[in-house]
Amino acid sequence: MTKYQAEPKETLVGSFLGQMKKPIFIVIDAMIMTFTIIFAFYLRLGWPLSSQYLDFLQKFLVPFMLLKLSIFYGLGMYRRLWRYASVQELRVIAQSVVLASFTVLFLSYSLGTIPIPRSVFIVDGLLTLFMIGGLRFFGRIFSELRGLRRMSSTARRELIVGAGSAGGMLAKEMLKSSSLQYLPVGFVDDDKQKQGQRLHGIKVLGKISELKDIIGAGNIDEVIIAMPSVSRQVKEDVVNICKQMGVRCRTLPGIYEIIDGHVGIGQIRDIQIEDILGRDPVTVNLDEIGKFVEGSVVLVTGAGGSIGSELCRQVAGLRPELLVIVDIAENSLFEIEQALLETNLCPIVAAIGDVKDRARVDELLELYHPKVIFHAAAYKHVPLMEANPKAALENNFLGTAVLAEASAYHNVAKFVLISTDKAVNPTSVMGMTKALAEMVVSAIDGASTVFIVVRFGNVLASRGSVVPIFQKQINNGGPITITHPKMKRYLMTITESVQLVLQAAVFGSAGEVYLLDMGEQVSIVELAEKLVELSGLNRDQIPIEYIGIRPGEKIEEELTAATETVLPSPHPKIFRLDNRDSSVSVPDLRELEELVRKGQMTIVFDKMKKLINTGEKRPLFLNL
């Protein structure tokens, strides 16, 4: 709405009523202040008052009352929405009353009038605090009760799992926002001390193990899991119980998704596959990561991809001096740029660029002088790279070499390569190119640049991964296509993987390779079945069709090679890898680079076989 556009009638009426409340509050407060000072004299000195005290009141009652009102006004007492009064508003009331009482006490003694007992002003202040504070909070209580009565018959009856801070904030917002038609009717929590207690007037009805009985007895419309750090198993148990009882189940975001610590109705979302097949939340040192990023220029390549975009979001939240986001794909770069600009967390520069283009890379590093580079740009689709080996080598291998060499030349402080478990004993072109990228980063000599590699497995729901593919097939009525019934993969949520990448980047030393703790491999068949259940369908309704292993794929992935020793790091979920067979030389890599640039792919393949420990004997490339 422009400043020249007329406001709707409802807005004008609401504004007028809001303005009318100010003088009403001022008049009521004036009456309260008049009463409290007279009553304080009575309580302290008895009645009738002596003539000297009556004379004092006649002279100073009105001036002192006006002084108090001026202090209240100056501290913003009449610029607040008291229907939403909270502890913050109570603090403002207390500050206003204390300041007003001490001011009046000071003036009464300064004016040289008859001595008034100090206790009179103390009693006056306590009475004023009680009556004015009570008036304000009565308005909030009345508003909430009226809202509850209005929505009790039509609102959705919500059962909240978790009576902690997140559940409390959620219930409080539901009570305030009666127009949204959420009625919290109870909590469920395993904490023994909370059983039978009340939070915001809402009772803790029992433990999670009693959830089935509570739903059956309470006419529940929906269950909301409000425990951001709860384990995957607990979420899965709650989801299964809700499915048995025919009740919708939703959740608040995980702990990594809550940036400012606040949760509310707008964050409630449906249960996702990450919630029940992801791993239990881990803890990272956010203060340490924040110091690493804050005030620095950070550059992210592949910024429009799944990992790259999440890196950008999390880095932006750590308040760098400047975040430079780089991608060759215009649309993807535009999308993440717009998302970051909406948050307004830090200055953003979006740069179209190809990591293979040395001139463009030099231009960006010379212009912005990044302290940290996260290299997430890579081709990742295994079958597609089998058919396009030269493109895979140019992007994943040569692109990494160009960016790493430029980083050393421009004295970038830290270079972090995002790698994959497919680089271990690779059986695919994509895996081989990422293995070569790891070799480049580990072998390059940067006098002032720390090069590290962070390796992990598949991330859930990333672009082009099995989760969105399966979801589309389910929406189309099936079948779900799986390559092999025994196919397994290491799975991790995008948010958690990026958190651990940032943590590894903090303590990473030159030439080191770090491995994220991926837990146990997950059956792809089990993943598909869980997705069917989350879609509200039975497994019999969506058939599974096995189509055979695609070129370059493994039945199961590996995280470490036989020559690598797994060592601990400063973080329990991050491991450092010591490679006993790290004999690859820079001249060998240089020679391979030249062969790729010349397109001599048969020779390239022979050379790679000598450099890389492959998992099995591979055929020649499909597209030489």
Note if 59 is an active site residue. Answer: no
Read off the tokens for 457: 């497995």
Gap between the terminal Cα atoms of the chain? 61
State the amino acid at position 199 in one-letter form.
L
Quickly tell me which residue has 């009179």 as its tokens.
120
Phi-psi region of 295 (alpha: psi -120 to 50; beta: other; left: phi over 0): left
Read off the tokens for 384: 């597609």
Q: Is the peptide bond before 479 cis (omega within 30 degrees of 0)?
A: yes
- Catalytic residue, from 422, 434, 488, 530: name it: 422
Q: Are 529 and 404 in contact, with CB atoms under 8 Å apart?
A: no
Give the strands of the sheet with 297-301, arranged side by side: 348-352, 322-327, 297-301, 372-375, 414-420, 450-456, 512-516, 574-579, 564-568
Exposed / middle / buried, residue 552 (Cβ in 10 Å: 0-12, 13-18, 19+)? buried
C-alpha pair distances (Å), 139 with each of 15, 143, 245, 272: 18, 6, 39, 40
CA distance 275 to 239: 10
Quickly tell me which residue has 């271990």 as its tokens.
424
**∠ at Cα 425 (423, 429), nearest 5°?**
55
CA distance 291 to 307: 22
CA distance 537 to 545: 17
Task: Report which secondary-structure segment, H or E, holds 433.
Answer: helix 429-443
Three-state DSSP state, 138? helix
CA distance 155 to 342: 33
CA atoms within 13 A on the CB side of 116: 30
Q: How many residues are there in the chain?
A: 624
CA distance 51 to 461: 83
CA distance 470 to 176: 40
State the amino acid at position 358 in one-letter form.
R
CA distance 218 to 185: 8
DSSP characters over 269-298: EE--HHHHHSPPP----HHHHHHHHTTSEE
Read off the tokens for 573: 């979920």
CA distance 110 to 128: 23
Q: Are 453 and 513 in contact, with CB atoms under 8 Å apart?
A: yes
- CA–chain centroid gap for 613, Å, is 39
State the amino acid at position 593 in one-letter form.
E
- CA–chain centroid gap for 522, Å, is 25
Number of H helices, E strands in the chain: 21, 22
Residue 139 has φ and ψ, to the nearest 5°, of: -60, -40
Residues belonging to the active site: 422
